[in-house]
Amino acid sequence: MRALEELVELAEAPYNDTVKDWKEKGGKVVGFICSYIPEEILHAGGILPYRLSPTGCTETTEADAYMSHFNCTFARCCLQFALKGEYDFLDGIVLMNSCDHLRRLYDNWKYSVGCPYMHYLNVPHRVGEGPEGWYKDELTMYKESVEEAFAVKITEESLANSISTYNRIRGLLKKVYELREREKPPIKGSEMMKVLVAGYRCPTEKYEQLLEKLLSELEKEEGISDYPARLMLMGSACDRPDFVQAIEDAGGLVVADTLCFGSRYFWNMVETGGDPISALAKSYLNNPSCARMTGNEPERWDFAMQMLQRFKVDGIICQRLRWCDLWGGETFYIGEKIKGLDIPFLLLEREQWLSGEEQLKTRVQALAEVIEGRRK
């Protein structure tokens, strides 16, 4: 599958050839940290949105001088890359109050590294009419700061066009996910994560073309049949295909997820036809949420159950980054809810890099054996 090969290649290099080509042609690149930050605003200004994902980081020696060991290794790896110059190609960064760890990432980046353009976006922690109004004001200020910093004009028309472009991408990604509902899915979970990571570091229009080709190729594939269990991933931000690969090497096929680097990123469309900023504020706040959002735990659980049933999941793996406070509390809530489901469940704690691989595989193998035993 040629499209999959190209997407995998893009995913494996933080500064890949498409980003280099964009820069060489005079294009600007702005990094962002979270799925609550609309890419459409940067895209409408002719800027390449680049989601920060420290692929290949295996130690945080320099970052540890600025951040505590009680900060998660995702935040520390991002700072490590910034300190080591891996993100020097960025013309700006946009961070937000995702959690305390990423708030400190912004502070340390600003203090110890710097960047031509830096913006801190305040995103509400609740949904509803009041928070949507607040978030709309934040997005308006964000748009204006982009216009001023990069001498561009982001019009309602350009924003509407960008929303339409990203909606098409959301639709294509959802169609690829729907192929994983089959008894013989044509793509592994580890490959799907590479497809998603590629989209965070690739010009938008090129990514759309690659997804169209990928969908066409996958529809012709016979699919994967030699797996003992269909698994769903939940939990902290996970951008590591090697982690998913380790799970699949141990005998389970990941067919679904509720991750911010996965389904939650694209599952719902942004409304079109009205004020684009209002539409972005409403859509991004009401997407399937993460543990940073308070008061809508039942809605998160309902989304997980919809995915479980739709993808015919045999078992659930909830992974969380060590020291992730938000998902530490959420996994307790998930664990209590799963007790009433009679479905095999595994809780894994991990670092940003893959570690303890053999122990991980042993635990996944045990989960797969429990699932197989229930079928007899």
Mind giving me the DSSP string for 119-130?
A: EEE---SS-SHH
CATH of the domain at 47: 3.40.50.11890
What pTM, to 2 d.p., does this model score? Answer: 0.95
Domain membership flag for residue 299: no
Tell me the Ramachandran region of residue 266: left when phi exceeds 0, alpha when psi lies from -120 to 50, beta otherwise. alpha
Are the CB atoms for 230 and 312 separated by under 8 Å? yes
**Helical H segments across the chain, by residue range:** 2-12, 17-24, 39-44, 73-83, 100-112, 129-150, 156-179, 189-199, 204-218, 241-249, 263-266, 276-286, 297-310, 325-338, 357-375
Task: Please report how the helices 357-375 and 241-249 are oriented relative to each other, as an axis angle in degrees rounded to 10.
Answer: 50
Q: Is 115 inside any structural domain? A: yes
Q: Which residue has the tokens 């998930």?
A: 334
In a domain, 200, yes or no: no
Question: Is position 275 within any domain?
Answer: no
Question: How many residues are present in the chain?
Answer: 376
Instruction: Examine residue 289 and state whether it is found in any structural domain, yes or no.
Output: no
In a domain, residue 224? The reply is: no
For residue 109, the enclosing domain spans 28-157
What is the chain's pLDDT, residue by residue, as a tens digit (376 residues)?
799 999 999 999 889 999 999 999 999 999 999 999 999 999 999 999 999 999 889 999 999 999 999 999 999 999 999 999 999 999 999 999 999 999 999 999 999 999 999 999 999 999 888 999 999 999 999 999 999 999 999 999 999 999 999 999 999 999 999 999 999 999 999 999 999 999 999 999 999 999 999 999 999 999 999 998 999 999 999 999 999 999 999 989 999 999 999 999 999 999 998 999 999 999 999 999 999 999 888 999 999 999 999 999 999 999 999 999 999 889 888 888 988 888 999 999 999 999 889 999 999 999 999 998 887 6
Q: Exposed, middle or buried, 274 (CB in 10 Å: 0-12/13-18/19+)?
A: exposed
**Contact (Cβ atoms closer than 8 angstroms) between residue 301 and residue 49:** no
What pLDDT is recorded for position 70? 93
The total number of structural domains in the chain stands at 1
pLDDT of residue 375: 74
Four-residue CA torsion sign, 361, 362, 363, 366: positive
Does residue 32 lie in a domain region? yes
Query: Is 18 within a domain?
Result: no
Structure tokens at 13: 């290099």
Give the pLDDT of residue 251. 81
